[in-house]
């Protein structure tokens, strides 16, 4: 089974001024570790970028933060809604790549991460949230997000990909 890691909205516009408050380094460490692990086993890493309301979609503020490693062969998808599947080619990309398991990580747990998680499940993908790989400006939201959803830790991902 092929795995797809969706890294949602880890962009300067949302995170640049909140790095210390949100403990971004820890989340990025988990996300980058899993992304590197998946890349090394020919799985898929997809960066989701929110461009909703942007006058210039090439603005530096929409760029992914420097703490997230982006490789040339990673896939990038732009979106204008909270659910990264809505009015994008994400579902087709996952199908074309043969993805069976979708791992969702990124910002914000209570918005785009959650809606993208739900969107993947609604489309029939086995879907999990990366433990310690999601962020929110509201600290109690993360535990609530984990509570009723499937989560996965990096040691389990290591085991799965061997």
Ranges of each domain in the chain: 2-161
Structure confidence by residue, pLDDT tens digits, 92-124: 999 999 999 999 999 999 999 999 999 999 999
The CATH class that applies to domain 2-161 reads alpha beta
Q: Percent of the chain, pLDDT > 90?
A: 80
**pLDDT (0 to 100) of residue 76:** 97
Q: What are phi and psi of 153, to 5 degrees?
A: -100, 160
**pLDDT (0 to 100) of residue 54:** 67
**pLDDT (0 to 100) of residue 21:** 79
Phi/psi region, residue 146 (left: phi>0; alpha: psi -120 to 50; beta: rest), is alpha
**pLDDT (0 to 100) of residue 23:** 83
Residues of the chain with pLDDT under 50: none
> Which of 118-144 are b and which e, b meaning 16 or more Cβ less than 10 Å from the residue's Cβ?
bbbbeeebebbbbbbbbbbeeeebbee
Distance CA 38, CA 58 (A): 28
**pLDDT (0 to 100) of residue 161:** 95
């Amino acid at each position: 089974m092929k795995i797809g890691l969706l890294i949602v909205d880890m962009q300067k516009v949302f995170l640049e001024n909140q790095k210390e408050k949100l403990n971004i380094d820890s989340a990025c460490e988990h996300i980058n570790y899993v992304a590197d692990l998946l890349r090394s086993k020919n799985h898929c890493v997809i960066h989701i970028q929110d461009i909703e309301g942007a006058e210039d979609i090439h603005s530096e503020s929409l760029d992914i933060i420097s703490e997230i490693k982006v490789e040339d062969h990673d896939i990038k998808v732009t979106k204008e809604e909270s659910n990264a599947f809505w009015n994008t080619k994400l579902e087709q990309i996952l199908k074309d790549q043969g993805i069976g398991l979708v791992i969702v990580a990124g910002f914000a747990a209570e918005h785009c991460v959650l809606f993208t998680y739900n969107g993947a499940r609604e489309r029939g993908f086995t879907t999990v949230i990366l433990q310690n790989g999601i962020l929110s400006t509201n600290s109690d939201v993360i535990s609530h997000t984990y509570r009723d959803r499937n989560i996965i830790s990096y040691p389990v991902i290591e085991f799965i990909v061997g």
